[in-house]
Protein backbone atom coordinates (compact mmCIF):
# COMPACT_ATOMS: atom_id res chain seq x y z
CA UNK A 1 0.00 0.00 0.00
CA UNK A 2 1.13 3.52 -0.78
CA UNK A 3 0.25 6.92 0.54
CA UNK A 4 -2.27 8.62 -1.70
CA UNK A 5 -3.21 12.23 -2.27
CA UNK A 6 -1.28 15.41 -1.61
CA UNK A 7 2.05 14.51 -0.02
CA UNK A 8 2.61 18.15 0.90
CA UNK A 9 -0.47 18.06 3.13
CA UNK A 10 0.78 14.88 4.81
CA UNK A 11 4.23 16.44 5.26
CA UNK A 12 2.70 19.60 6.73
CA UNK A 13 0.63 17.54 9.17
CA UNK A 14 3.70 15.51 10.17
CA UNK A 15 5.66 18.73 10.68
CA UNK A 16 2.81 20.14 12.80
CA UNK A 17 2.98 17.18 15.18
CA UNK A 18 6.78 17.36 15.41
CA UNK A 19 7.46 14.14 13.52
CA UNK A 20 9.96 15.34 10.92
CA UNK A 21 13.07 16.22 12.95
CA UNK A 22 13.13 12.98 15.00
CA UNK A 23 12.82 10.86 11.83
CA UNK A 24 15.79 12.62 10.26
CA UNK A 25 17.92 11.41 13.17
CA UNK A 26 16.89 7.74 12.89
CA UNK A 27 18.82 4.92 11.25
CA UNK A 28 16.61 4.55 8.18
CA UNK A 29 18.03 1.15 7.27
CA UNK A 30 17.02 -0.19 10.66
CA UNK A 31 13.55 1.36 10.54
CA UNK A 32 13.04 0.08 6.97
CA UNK A 33 13.92 -3.44 8.11
CA UNK A 34 11.46 -3.08 10.98
CA UNK A 35 8.77 -1.82 8.59
CA UNK A 36 9.26 -4.82 6.32
CA UNK A 37 8.87 -7.19 9.25
CA UNK A 38 5.57 -5.56 10.29
CA UNK A 39 3.59 -4.97 7.08
CA UNK A 40 0.21 -4.90 8.84
CA UNK A 41 1.22 -1.98 11.07
CA UNK A 42 2.52 -0.10 8.03
CA UNK A 43 -0.63 -0.88 6.05
CA UNK A 44 -2.88 0.26 8.90
CA UNK A 45 -0.96 3.51 9.29
CA UNK A 46 -1.08 4.26 5.56
CA UNK A 47 -4.78 3.39 5.45
CA UNK A 48 -5.43 5.84 8.27
CA UNK A 49 -3.59 8.61 6.42
CA UNK A 50 -5.34 7.84 3.14
CA UNK A 51 -8.75 7.85 4.85
CA UNK A 52 -8.24 11.51 5.78
CA UNK A 53 -8.41 12.39 2.07
CA UNK A 54 -6.23 15.48 2.37
CA UNK A 55 -7.99 16.96 5.41
CA UNK A 56 -4.99 18.32 7.28
CA UNK A 57 -6.83 18.91 10.56
CA UNK A 58 -8.20 15.36 10.59
CA UNK A 59 -4.78 14.01 9.67
CA UNK A 60 -3.16 15.88 12.56
CA UNK A 61 -5.78 14.46 14.89
CA UNK A 62 -5.14 10.91 13.62
CA UNK A 63 -1.36 11.32 13.89
CA UNK A 64 -1.71 12.37 17.53
CA UNK A 65 -3.61 9.15 18.18
CA UNK A 66 -0.97 6.89 16.55
CA UNK A 67 2.00 5.29 18.21
CA UNK A 68 5.37 6.86 17.46
CA UNK A 69 6.55 3.92 15.36
CA UNK A 70 3.63 4.29 12.94
CA UNK A 71 4.19 8.04 12.68
CA UNK A 72 7.86 7.37 11.89
CA UNK A 73 6.88 4.93 9.15
CA UNK A 74 4.59 7.51 7.58
CA UNK A 75 7.23 10.24 7.76
CA UNK A 76 9.84 8.01 6.15
CA UNK A 77 7.46 7.01 3.37
CA UNK A 78 6.60 10.65 2.65
CA UNK A 79 10.33 11.40 2.40
CA UNK A 80 10.88 8.44 0.07
CA UNK A 81 7.97 9.38 -2.18
CA UNK A 82 9.15 13.00 -2.35
CA UNK A 83 12.62 11.76 -3.35
CA UNK A 84 11.22 9.44 -6.01
CA UNK A 85 9.05 12.24 -7.39
CA UNK A 86 12.05 14.59 -7.48
CA UNK A 87 14.12 11.95 -9.31
CA UNK A 88 11.39 11.53 -11.93
CA UNK A 89 10.95 15.26 -12.51
CA UNK A 90 14.68 15.89 -12.93
CA UNK A 91 15.20 13.40 -15.75
CA UNK A 92 16.41 15.02 -18.95
Q: What value does the mean pLDDT of the chain take? A: 91
Confidence of residue 89 (pLDDT cuts 50, 70, 90): low
Structural domain of residue 63, as residue ranges? 7-89
Domains: count for the chain: 1
Tell me if 45 is assigned to some domain: yes
In a domain, 11, yes or no: yes
Position 42 in a domain: yes
Q: Is residue 2 part of a domain?
A: no
pLDDT at 2: 84
Distance from C-alpha of 90 to C-alpha of 20, rounded to nearest angstrom: 24
Predicted TM-score (pTM) of this structure: 0.86
Any domain includes 33? yes
Confidence label for 52 from pLDDT (cuts 50, 70 and 90): very high
Indicate whether 1 belongs to any domain.
no
Average pLDDT, integer, range 11-24: 95
Helix axes of 56-65 and 39-51: crossing angle, nearest 10 degrees:
150
**What per-residue confidence (pLDDT) applies to 83?**
77
Amino acid sequence: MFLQGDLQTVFDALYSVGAIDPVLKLDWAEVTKEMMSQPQIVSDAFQTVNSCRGNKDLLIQKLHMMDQRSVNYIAMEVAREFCEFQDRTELH
